[in-house]
Every structure is written in C-alpha cells, then in structure tokens.
Amino acid sequence: MSTGQFHFRSRMRRVTDVAVTSLAILATLIVVAPLVAIFGYLLYKGTASLNLAFFTHVPAPPGELGGGMANAILGSAILLMLASAIGIPVGIGGGIFLAEFGRGSKLANAVRFTADVLNGVPSIVMGVAVYGLIVSQQHSFIPFSGHFSAFSGGVALGIMMIPTVCRTTEEMLLMVPHAVREAALGLGVPNWRSVLSITVRTASPGIITGCMLAFARVAGETAPLIFTALGNQFWSTSLKDPIAALPLQIWVYALSPYDDWHRLAWAGALVLIVLIVMAVSLVRFVTSRGVLKGTS
Amino acid sequence: MGVGIEVQNLNAWYGNNHTLQDINLNIPANHATALIGPSGCGKSTFVRCLNRMHETNPIARVTGVVRIGELDIYSDAKPVEIRRRVGMVFQRPNPFPTMSIYDNVAAGLKLNGYSNKRSLDEIVERSLRNSALWEEVKDDLRKKSGASLSGGQQQRLCIARALAVDPEVLLMDEPASALDPVSTSKIEDLIFQLKSQYTIVIVTHNMQQAARVAEKTGFFLNGRMVEFDSTHKIFTNPSDKRTEDYITGRFG
C-alpha cells in the first residue's frame, strides 16, 4: 500500500469516528430532551398554583377559587399501596415460578405468554374489565363489589403491575450465575430454600427495579380508574367508597372550563411526577443501605 | 474425622452421552486423592457423583454404588443430607455475592435452620482459621461482601463455607485452576493441613499439583479409570502405557 493510500484511509477512519460519535451524542440528546422539556414546562406552569392549600385542602366547589388536592394525593397513595400489595407478591411469585420451578414446562410457557399479552392490554380495557367483574355486579366472594370503590381501583392497578413485575423477576433470576445455585445446593441446602434465600436475594436489586418501574407506570394511570375508583371531591380513606386520585383529578380539572382549575391541574401534574420520583428514590435509598462493600 | 469412599460399578450419563463407565475404586479416609486426566475424561462428573450433584442436571443419570463411610448414598439417604456430609469446592470461586463474609461462611448452617448465634460466631472463626483466611478478613467480617475479596481469598472463603457445615469428605473440582501461583500454593498448603481431618478428593489438570498434595492418584481417560495407585507409583512407574504417555506429555 502506498503512503498516499494510507493517509487517505486514516483520514477516512477519523471522519467516520467523528460522524458516529456525533450521531450517538445526538441520539442521547433526543432521548433526554422530552423529559427535560416536560419537566421544565410543568415547573413553569405548575409552580404558580402550588401553595400550602394545595396539599391541605380538598377541591373547592365549582365557581369558587382556591382549594387543593390533598384528598387526591392521599387517594393515590392508598390506591398505590393496595395495587402494590396485589401486584408485587403475585408478580414476584409468578416470576419465581417461571425462572425456577416451572422452567421449560408447558404451564410456564403459557404463563409467560399470558403475562406478555396482559402487558399489552390497553389500560382503559383493564378498567372496563374490572368494572365488569367487580363494580357492575355484587359478588359474595369479592369485597366491596357492586359499586364504584377504592378497592376496585386498586385491583385494576394491581393487575396492571403483575406482568411487569413477573417478567423482570424472571429475567433477573435467570441472570443469577449457575455457580451461585450450585454453591447453595453443594452445601446441602434444599432447592426451595436455595431459590428463596440465595437466588432471589442475589437478584433482589433487579427485582426491586422491576417493582419500581411497575409502580411508577401505574401511578400515572387514569384510564383504569375512571370505571373503578371514579374519583371523589371529598375526603375519603375507605376502601369501599369511591376515592380521589391525582391522575383522575388532573384529568377532570384539565377538561373543565375554569382557568383556576387548569392551573390546579398543572400543579397536580407537577406534584404527581415529583411524588413518583420521591417514592422511587426512597425505596432505592432504603434498599441500598443494607448493601455491603464490594457487592456488584 | 474423614471417612473412606467405596465406589462400585459407577456409570453416569448426560443424555445419551455415557460419561463414566464402570468405575471401581476405594478412596482412603483422611488422605488426599488426586484425579488427573485430559479435559472431558469424566473426572469432574465422577466427583459430582460423590455428592449427588450430578443429578441436579435434568438430563443426567447414574447407576452403581457409592458408599461414604457406611452410607450407601444412592439408596440410603436424600441428596440434601449427603451434600451436608460431602462438601464441595468448585473450579471458579462462587461466594454468595450479596452476603457478607460472615454470612457466606455461616450460610450452610443458617439456611439449614441453625441459629445459635454464639456457636455460629465460633464456627465462622474456626472455619476461617482452618481455611487460612481469618487474619486477612477478621476486621471486615460483616462489612464486606464475599465478592469484594480477591480470587484466591474468595476460593479460601468457599473452602471455609464448605468446612463450616462440618463435612467428612471435601471434594475439590480444580480448585486452583482460576488462581495465580501465590494463591495456588496457599490452597495447596491448606489441602495438606486439612487432610488430617477430612477425606479430600481433588480434581486437577496440574500434575505437579497432584504430585505435591496427594497420596493416591487416579488417571481417567475417555470416561474410564485407567489406573489408580499411590501417587509416587503413578508418576514414576505407571503400570499402564496410556498413563505413562499422559504424564510424560505425549498427549492430552
């Protein structure tokens, strides 16, 4: 090869390097931009209506100024606790079955397929389904059935959490090295004990991430609550009555004809995002405190 | 104290692959026995048959008799009980990554429901002393994860973990093959000390290692045991031509 050719090739390589690096940086910016834009716009629109009353008062009657979303914040917290109480244990249990006890079996394949389909079910359909099952008719074996209730809302959100939790749990368990399982079996630990105390524990950071993803996703869901929790203008903490939720309240206020309510809707959206970020960070902080030096 | 191991007509399969064929041998108590042979000859499968780890693979199958002391492990006991009496150290160090050093050593006891804290402390210290790791880790027992140690320390931690359940036999499947020479010589010194209390079976690719640590050596080839004799005889005057070819480096 002549020196001229060599110089040409080396220049081409540098040009390609710069081009590919620039594309990667551009793609990164495009990924980050929507989040920054949304959050910035929410701060701009929402902070003006944020005051103490927002966190302490229930909504004002139509036509009156002021009021807050205290009941919706509490309602969302109750709905999400109920949803997590249903979605996390069922999801983790299903994931453990898929990865450990049922691996390769027909039942496991069927469960995995079902979870994937469930993950793709539109959230409004989930709301209608729970409406049909729990809200529209009274069953002796389902508590608080036959009417709109916080319970039915929590159930709808909980079912939506199951597939995400289940599949991430499975993936995380499959990533635990075979050597770690063998080490436990080699000590004479029964298989079920090894799965629960060693494999699941080793995979727990990833499993917690999956639970947080599912939590954050349903925290902002409006559609499943329209037919179930319904919303509530007043204080309510009872599982048997309709309950307010931040996304529902935002939806109602944003569609209203009043400027004051529009402002409150912006503030509500800001508070919803901040609360989700805080809840996820809190869980991360609490669960990372027990982690030892050198654990990776 | 260690116990002897008696193996009669042992056959093992992975699917249709007949990996071990008619193995017969007696492994003496409180000695180190080395198993050598080229890759894929069945020596790892053999030690995995001694604590019934072989059958954890769903396509694996075993026939024959293995007696650990008085116990016929394939007819008299459950796999879980046998694995408590027959400890195992694997080729790559495999500490439990999310557990502290202390919890790694105590794992075998804790997971089997043993919870007396004072005697756990004692057992953890004794096991770490026996595996020559105590002095290096005694200040970080609960602070550091098992995965934060160096490779050689991790392997000694795994030995301590195996010793903590007080086994009679210790199986070591190429315990030093992933370690540097300094760590390797520490593990070899350890084997030398441990064989007064345990029966040790060590699989190795390193023939010098077999010569250094073991009184008895078995040579495996293509799923059969070609020769089993005192280490001295195997390395100086083997009876079988194939053994001689292998140890003089003519194949494998």
Torsion of CA B226, B232, B236, B237, to 10 degrees: -50
User: What pLDDT, on the 0 to 100 scale, is given for residue A32?
Assistant: 96
> Which chain A residues are closer than 8 Å to B73 by Cβ?
none
Strand order, beta sheet including B224-230: B86-89, B169-173, B199-203, B32-36, B216-221, B224-230
User: Which residues are registered as beta bridge partners of B32?
Assistant: B200
What pLDDT does residue B188 have? 93
Please report residues of B whose CB lies closer than 8 A to that of A287.
Answer: none
CB atoms within 10 A of CB A133: 15
Tokens 């970020």 label which residue? A277
Structure tokens at A82: 């109920």
CB of A287 within 8 Å of any CB in chain B? no
In terms of DSSP bridges, do strands B17-27 and B5-14 run parallel, antiparallel, or are they unpaired? antiparallel
B17-27 sheet: strands from edge to edge: B17-27, B5-14, B60-68, B71-72
Tokens found for residue A78: 């109750």
Please give the DSSP secondary-structure letter assigned to residue A48: G
**What is the pLDDT confidence band of residue A294, given thresholds at 50, 70 and 90?**
low
Per-position b or e across A148-174, b if 16+ CB within 10 A of its CB: bbbbbbbbbbbbbbbbbbbbbbbbbbe
Residue A15: pLDDT over 60? yes
**What percentage of chain B has pLDDT greater than the value 70?**
99
Round to whole Å and give the CA distance between A271 and A283: 18
**Does B88 touch chain A if contact means CB atoms closer than 8 Å?**
yes
For residue A296, which of B155, B140, B147 has the smallest C-alpha distance? Answer: B147
Contact A187 B107 (CB under 8 A): yes
Q: What pLDDT, on the 0 to 100 scale, is given for residue A292?
A: 67
Instruction: Tell me the nearest-neighbour CA distance from B51 into chain A, angstroms.
Output: 8
pLDDT range class, residue A287, cuts 50, 70, 90? confident
In angstroms, how far is CA B138 from the centroid of its own chain?
Answer: 25
Q: What is the pLDDT of residue A182?
A: 93
* Cβ contacts of A190 on chain B, cutoff 8 Å: 80
Report the chain A residue with the minimal C-alpha distance to residue B101.
A292
Q: Which domains occur in chain A, in start order?
A: 70-246+283-288 (1.10.3720.10)
Q: What is the rounded distance in angstroms from the CA atom of residue B108 to the CA atom of residue A80?
A: 38
How many CB contacts within 8 angstroms connect chain A with chain B? 94
Which burial class, exposed, middle or buried, applies to A129 when counting CB atoms under 10 A from its CB (0-12, 13-18, 19+)? middle
Tokens 């045991």, located at residue? B225
pLDDT of A293 above 70: no
Which residue intervals of B1-87 are DSSP H helices?
Answer: 43-50, 79-85
Distance CA A184, CA B161 (A): 10
Task: Evaluate if residue B25 carries a pLDDT over 90.
Answer: yes
Residue of chain B with shortest Cα separation from A104: B58
**Within 10 Å of residue B28's Cβ, how many Cβ atoms?**
14
Average pLDDT in chain B: 92
Give yes or no for residue A186 having a pLDDT over 90: yes
pLDDT of residue B249: 85
The full 3-state SS of A159-178, as one line of letters, equals HHHHHHHHHHHHHHHHCCCH
Q: Is a pLDDT exceeding 60 seen at residue B252?
A: no
pLDDT at A230 over 90: yes
pLDDT at B174 exceeding the cut of 70 = yes
pLDDT value of position B79: 92
Q: What is the pLDDT of residues B42-61, one digit of tens each?
A: 999 999 999 999 998 889 99
Nearest CB partner across the interface for A295, out of B84, B97, B140: B97
Interface test with B, best of A172, A180, A189 (most B CBs within 10 A): A189
- The reported pLDDT for the residue numbered B35 is 96
Question: Can you tell me which residue has the tokens 């315990």?
Answer: B175
Predicted TM-score of the model (pTM): 0.87
Q: Which of residues 11-70 of B touch A (CB under 8 A)?
A: 51, 53, 56
Residue with tokens 């008799």: B65
User: Does residue A296 have a pLDDT over 80?
Assistant: no
Contact B56 A185 (CB under 8 A): yes
Distance CA A123, CA A158 (A): 12
The C-alpha of A117 sits at a distance from chain B's nearest C-alpha, in angstroms, of 30
Average pLDDT, chain A: 92
Predicted local distance difference test score (pLDDT) of residue A62: 82
Tell me whether B162 touches chain A (CB under 8 Å): yes
User: A155 to chain B nearest CA, in Å?
Assistant: 34
Do B3 and B68 form a contact (C-beta atoms < 8 A)?
yes
